[in-house]
Structure 1
Amino acid sequence: MRQATKPVSAGAVLGWLALSALAPGAAHLRAGWRKTGLALLAGYAALLLALLAVGLSTDNLLGSLTENSWLTGITLGSAVLGVAWFAVIVHSFVVLRPGGLTQGGQIVTGALAGLLAVVVVLPFGVVTQYVWTWQQTVNSIFDQPTTEPEETVARSPERPEDPWAGRDRVNILLLGGDADDNRIGVRTDSMNLASVDVKTGSTVLISLPRNLEDVRFRPGTPMAQRFPTGFRLPPDPGGGRSDLLNSVWEYSDAHPEIFGGKQHQGPKVLMDTIGYTLGLKVDWYALVNMWGFARLIDAIGGIKLTIEQDVVFGKYNEGLVKAGTRKLKGADAMWYARSRTYSDDYTRMRRQRCVLGALLDQADPATVLTRFNRIALATKELIRTDIPRDMLKDLVPLALRVKNAKVTSVQFVPPLINTGYPDWAKIRSITAKAVRDSAGTGPAIAASADPSTTPSAGPSATPSATPSATPSAMASQKKPAKPGENPAKGLTEGCGAL
C-alpha cells in the first residue's frame, strides 16, 4: 500500500522531477510509491555497477568499440534507455499529483516536465546516432578489402592474447592518390610508410619521393620478370615519364596480363615494392584521396599552420597561399601541401609532412566529438584500405598511443639520395637505423625487416638475392652512420619557421 502524501508545490514538483532525472525513483519515493521507487533506484544502481564492471573487465575498451556486436549492443541499449528515462520522467510527474496545483501551476509544471523528458532523452539519442554513424563508417571502409594479401599480421596460436604475433612493430603504407572522375587509374603522389612500435607507439614516418627512378622489384615476382633491371618505359609523347615510383600502382592495374589475368594488383605490388626498397614487411596500406583529405580538414574546422613563404598554385599561377600563421581551410591546406609551382617535389614532401603533423596535433578528442558526423562522412569518402576488420580493435588503441608518442621522420630526397640513380643499399641502411633508433633496441630489426633479399645499388644492376640477415650484413648495420646519413627528425621539425 502506498503511503498518503500531501500535495506538493509547483517548485517542489520541478525539483523532484529534476532529481528523478539523475536518480530514477526519487519522485516515486516522495509520492509514497515505495516499491516502485526502490525498484527504480535498485535498477539504476545495478546499471551503473554493470557499466563499471564492463569497463574494468574489458582490457581494450576503445578497441572493442570497433566490433559490430559491441556497436549494435550500444545502439540498442541507448535507444531502450532513452525510452525508459522518458517514461520515468513522465510517470514521476504523474505520481507527484500536479492536479492539486493551480491551473497556472499545472501549465508551467506540465510544460517544464515535458521539456525535461525530452532533454533526458537527447544524450541517449546522440549516443545512438554517433554509434550508428561510426558503425556504418567502419563497415563501409573495412568490410570489403580491395586486395587479398598473401600474408598479414595474425595472432600467434601460442599467444592468442598477442594480436601482433610476437612482432615488435607494424608497418602501414600511407598513400595520397590523385584519382578523380576525369583520370583513369591511381597515381600515388604521396608515399609514406609508418613503422609503429606496438608497445610504445613510437613511430618512424619514412617518405619516398614520387619521382624515384629505376624502381626495383622483388626477385621472382611478375614485375621483376617484366623489368629485371628496374622499372623503365619509353618517355611519354609529351616528354614526361610513366615509370616512376608513383606509377607502379597504376601500371600494375593497367596490365593484368603480367599477373596471369588477375585484376587490381596495384596495391599489392606497390606494398611489396616499397617494402623491398626499405627492407621492411609492409602489413597494410591506406590510400587517401588527396581532395577527400581536404574535406577531412574542413570537417575538423581547418588546421593552423605557419606558412614560411608564399605558395603559388593553379594552372595559370592564379592561386596563392600567403606566408604567415593562420588557420587554413582544406583546399588551401592541400594546395600548400601539393603545389610544385616555383618549387620541387622535395619541398612539397616537407610541406606534406607539416600538414600531417598539424592534423595529428590538432585533431583532439573534443574536436572529433563535436564534429563527429562531418568527420565520419569525410572519412567514408576518402579512405581505401586493406586493413582487416578484426584488427581494428587493436589498431585503435595503438593509434592513440602514436598520438602521444615520439614520431620521427625520414625523407629520401636529394642530397640524401639521387632519385635518378638511387643507392638502394643506402636507403635500406638508413631505414634500418631509423627504426632501431625509434625502438631504442639496438641493431636488431628482425620484427620488421624482410631478410630475404637486398636491393642492389646502381642504375642498372640486377637485384641480388643476398640475405640481409647474414653476420656481415648485421655487422654493417652496427657501424656508426656517416655524417648526413642520420636524417631522422621530429615530424614537425622544420615546419613553421618564418
Structure 2
Amino acid sequence: MSAGAVLGWLVLAALAPGSAHLRAGWRKTGLTLISCYAALLLALLAFILMNDLGTLAGTATQDSTLTAIMVGTIVLGLAWFTLIVHSFVVLRPGRLAQAGQILTGTVAGLLAVAVVVPFGWAAQTAQTSRQALDGIFQAPENEGGTPAPEPKPEDPWAGRDRVNILLLGGDADDNRTGVRTDSMNLASVDVKTGNTVLFSLPRNLEDVRFRPGTPMARRFPAGFDLPKDAGGGSSDLLNSVWEYADAHPEIFGGKQHQGPKVLMDTIGYTLGLKVDWYALVNMWGFARLIDAIGGVTISVEQDVVFGKYNEGLVKAGTRKLKGADAMWYARSRTNSDDYTRMGRQRCVLGALLEQADPATVLTRFNQVALATKELIRTDIPRPMLQHLVPLALKVKNAEVASVQFVPPLINTGYPDWEKIRDVAAKAVRDSARTKAPVAASAPPTTSPSSTLSPSPKKTPAKKQGSDDPTKGLTEGCGTSSAKG
C-alpha cells in the first residue's frame, strides 16, 4: 500500500469509523465500528426529527443536559482520537519507505488532533453556557426562603394563558448609588401563539399609585410623592421606585432588596396585569450583547447627537451600528425628550429581535454567553428556561405589538390610571384574538377587529382618525431587517 493510499484510508476512517479496519482485514472490528457509528447517527437523526427546534433549545439549557454534553463530547473526542491512531497502526505504515513513514505519521498525528477540535469546542461551549446560566439564573424561592416547586411538564405555565415579563434597562454604575430603571417595558406573551404586546412606560410617570394594602401604599396613600431635590429635581418618578424601596428597608419590616418586587407589583397594578418575572439589563452591558451578535442594522430617521459636549453623532440613514452607537442612539437626551428616546429604544429592541436569529447566536455563542452573563439580573427560575426558550422562538415568528404610554395618550404629570388599564386590557384581548402564523408560506390572516399587525416585520396603515395606540414593534422605525 502506498503512502497516498494510507492517508486516503485514514481520512475515510475519520469520516466513517471502521473503514480502515475493513481495508486492513480486521473485518469483525470494522463491521462493529461501522454498525455502532450508523446506529449513533440514526439515533441522533430520530431525536432531532422527534423534537422541534424550540424543545431542543429549551432542553439544552438544563444543567443535566449541559453536563451530559460536556462528558459525552469529551468521551467521543478521545474515542475518535484513539480510532485514528489505531486505524493508522492497522494499515501497517511500517512497510512504507522511510519518507513515507515520516509523511504518513505526521499527517496521522495532525488528523488525530484535528478530529478532537470540534469535540473540544462543543465541550467548551457547554461549559460556557452552564457558567453563564448559573451566573444569571438563581434557584427559585418562596417568601419564606424555601425552594419553589419545579414547573410541571404537562403545564409549566400553571394554568396561565399569558406570561408577563418586566424588561428593565438600568443605569447602575460604580459611581452611582442604587438602581434607576430608565427603560421599563412589560412583555405580555401568549403562551400558545407567542403573540406579544410590549407595554412601554415612561420614566417620568408621576403620582405613581401602589397596590392597596402594600407597605408602599401605606407610606404613600395618595401616590408616590417626595420633596423636591436640592436642585429642584424629582425623585418620586416611576424610575425611582426600585431605588427608593431598596433604600428604605424599614418600610418592609427590615427586609432588604425589595426594589425588584415593589417595581414589579407597581407596574403590574398600573397596567392591571400580574407580572411574573423581571429581567434587569445594564444599559451599557447591553451594548456588549449587540457587539456579540455583530451589531444591529437600524434606519436612523435623523442625526442623533450625543456626548457630554455633543461630540458624538449617529448619522441619519440605514446603517449597521455597533453596541456603543446603538446605545447612544437609544439613550441620547440631546435635542430629545423622554418620549422620543422611548421610541428609539423600541426600534433598537425590534431590530435586535429581528436580527438575533438562532444561526447568528449559535455562530457567536461564546461571545453572546459572556456578554449576557455580565448584563442581566433576573428572578426567572432556572427550570423555567426549558419552557421559556421555546416560547421565545415562537415570539420571533408571531405578532409583536407595542403600546407606549406617552403624550398625548396620557399626561405623565396627571396620569389617567383607568385609561391606562383599559388600553392595556384591549391590547391583550386583541393579541389573544390574533391567530398564530399557520405556515411560513401561507398569507397572514387577522381578525377584522384586530388592531395588531399581521407580522412583526410589517404593519398595515391605520384608518384615518384612528386613535388606537397599539402599533407594530418596528412601526415608524424604517427598514431594519437586514441581517448584516
TM-score by shorter chain over 0.5: yes
Structure 2: distance between partners of 1:274 and 1:150: 24
Deviation of 1:55 (Å): 3.9
SS of alignment partner, residue 183 of structure 2: strand
Helix, strand or coil: the match of 2:474?
A: coil
Identify if the C-alpha distance between structure 1 residues 404 and 160 changes in structure 2 by more than 3 Å, giving closer, same or farther. closer
- Name the residue aligned to 2:161: 168
**Counterparts of 1:497 and 1:35 in 2: how far apart (Å)?**
61
The match for 1:451 is none
Asked if the contact 1:149–1:268 (Cα under 8 Å) also holds between the matched residues in 2, the reply is: no
Task: Judge conservation of contact 2:140–2:148 (CA < 8 Å) in 1.
Answer: no
Equivalent position of 1:107 in the other structure: 102
Structure 2 alignment gaps of length 5 or more: 436-462
Following TM superposition, by how much is the alpha carbon of 1:233 offset from its aligned partner in structure 2, in angstroms?
0.6
1:11-26 alignment runs, 5 A limit: 11-26=4-19
Q: CA deviation at 1:46?
A: 2.9
Which one-letter code corresponds to 2:419 in the other structure? K
Q: Does 1:223 align with 2:205?
A: no
Question: In the alignment, which residue of structure 2 is the partner of 1:85?
Answer: 80
Aligned counterpart for 1:421 among listed residues 403, 410, 414: 414
Query: What amino acid is the match of 1:104?
Result: A
Which has the larger displacement, 286-295 or 357-366?
357-366
Separation (CA, whole Å) in 1 of partners of 2:394 and 2:143: 28
Q: Number of residues paired by the alignment?
A: 451
SS in 1 for 2:210: coil
Deviation of 1:42 after TM superposition, in Å, equals 2.3
**Which 4+ runs in 1 deviate beyond 6 A?**
149-156
Pairing 1:89-488 to 2, within 5 Å after superposition: 89-143=84-138, 161-440=154-433, 485-488=467-470
1:494 is aligned to 476
Q: What letter is aligned with 2:98?
A: Q
Query: What's the TM-score once normalised by structure 2's chain length?
Result: 0.89
d(CA) in 2 for partners of 1:161 and 1:482? 46
- Which residue does the alignment assign to 2:456? none
Given that residues 184 and 201 in structure 2 are in contact (C-alpha distance below 8 angstroms), is that contact kept between their aligned partners in structure 1?
yes
Which segment drifts farther, 320-329 or 235-244?
Answer: 320-329
How much is the aligned-residue C-alpha RMSD, in angstroms? 2.4
Change (3 A) 1:401 1:152: farther
Which residue of 1 is the match for residue 452 of structure 2? none
**CA spacing shift, 1:147–1:486, aligned 2, 3 Å:** farther
Q: Which one is further off, 385-394 or 113-122?
A: 113-122
Q: From the superposition, tell whether residues 36 and 112 of structure 1 become closer, same or farther in structure 2 (CA, over 3 Å).
A: same
Q: Residues 369, 261 of structure 1: CA spacing in aligned structure 2 closer, same or farther, 3 A cutoff?
A: same
**Cα shift at 1:192:** 0.2
Distance 1:482 1:432, change over 3 A: farther
Is the Cα contact below 8 Å between 1:209 and 1:413 reproduced in 2? yes
For the residues of structure 2 that align with 1:220 and 1:183, how far apart are their CA atoms? Answer: 32
Secondary structure at 1:61 match in 2 = helix
Q: 1:13: Cα distance to partner? A: 1.2
Which TM-score applies when normalising by structure 1? 0.86
1:132 deviates by 0.8
Q: Deviations over 1:465-497 (max 9, x none)?
A: xxxxxxxxxxxxxxxx99654211111110037
1:311 is displaced (CA, Å) by 1.0
CA distance in 1, matches of 2:250, 2:243: 14
Instruction: For residue 190 of structure 1, give the secondary structure of its aligned residue in structure 2.
Output: strand
Q: What's the CA shift for 1:149?
A: 9.8
Superimposed CA distance per residue, residues 426-468 of structure 1 (whole angstroms, 9 cap, x where no aligned partner): 10111111111111179xxxxxxxxxxxxxxxxxxxxxxxxxx
1:387 aligned counterpart, secondary structure: coil
Give yes or no for contact 1:154–1:165 (8 Å, CA) kept in 2: no
Quick one: structure 1 residues 154 and 352, their matched pair in 2 at CA, closer, same or farther if it must change by over 3 Å?
Answer: farther
Instruction: Give the letter for the 2:175 counterpart.
Output: N
Give how far 1:102 is off: 2.2
**Cα deviation per residue 1:102-159 (whole Å; 9 max; x = unaligned)?**
2222222222222221221111111111111011111110025699599999778xx7
Where do residues 40-55 of structure 1 align in structure 2 (5 Å cutoff)? 40-55=33-48
In structure 1, the residue matched to 2:441 is none
Give the aligned residue type for 2:382: R
Report deviation, 1:405: 1.2
Whether the 8 Å contact between 1:197 and 1:203 is mirrored in structure 2 is yes
Q: Which runs of 5+ in 1 are unaligned?
A: 1-7, 443-480
CA distance in structure 1 between the partners assigned to 2:142 and 2:331 by the alignment: 28
Deviations 1:171-211 (A, max 9, x none): 00000000000000000000000000111111111000000
> Which structure has the larger Rg over C-alpha atoms?
1
Q: Pick one of 22, 31, 35 that aligns with 1:29.
A: 22
1:408/1:154 CA distance change after superposition, 3 Å: farther
Instruction: Please give the residue correspondences for 1:1-16 in structure 2 after superposition, counting only pairs within 5 Å.
Output: 8-16=1-9
Per mean C-alpha deviation after superposition, the further-off stretch among 393-402 and 305-314 is 305-314
Deviation per CA, 1:59-113, whole angstroms, max 9, x where unpaired?
Answer: 7322111111111011000000000001101110111111222222222222222
Pair 151,402 (structure 1): closer, same or farther in 2 beyond 3 Å:
farther
C-alpha displacement at 1:365, in angstroms?
A: 2.3
In 1, distance between residues paired with 2:144 and 2:407?
A: 33
Cα distance in 1 for residues equivalent to 2:176 and 2:141: 19
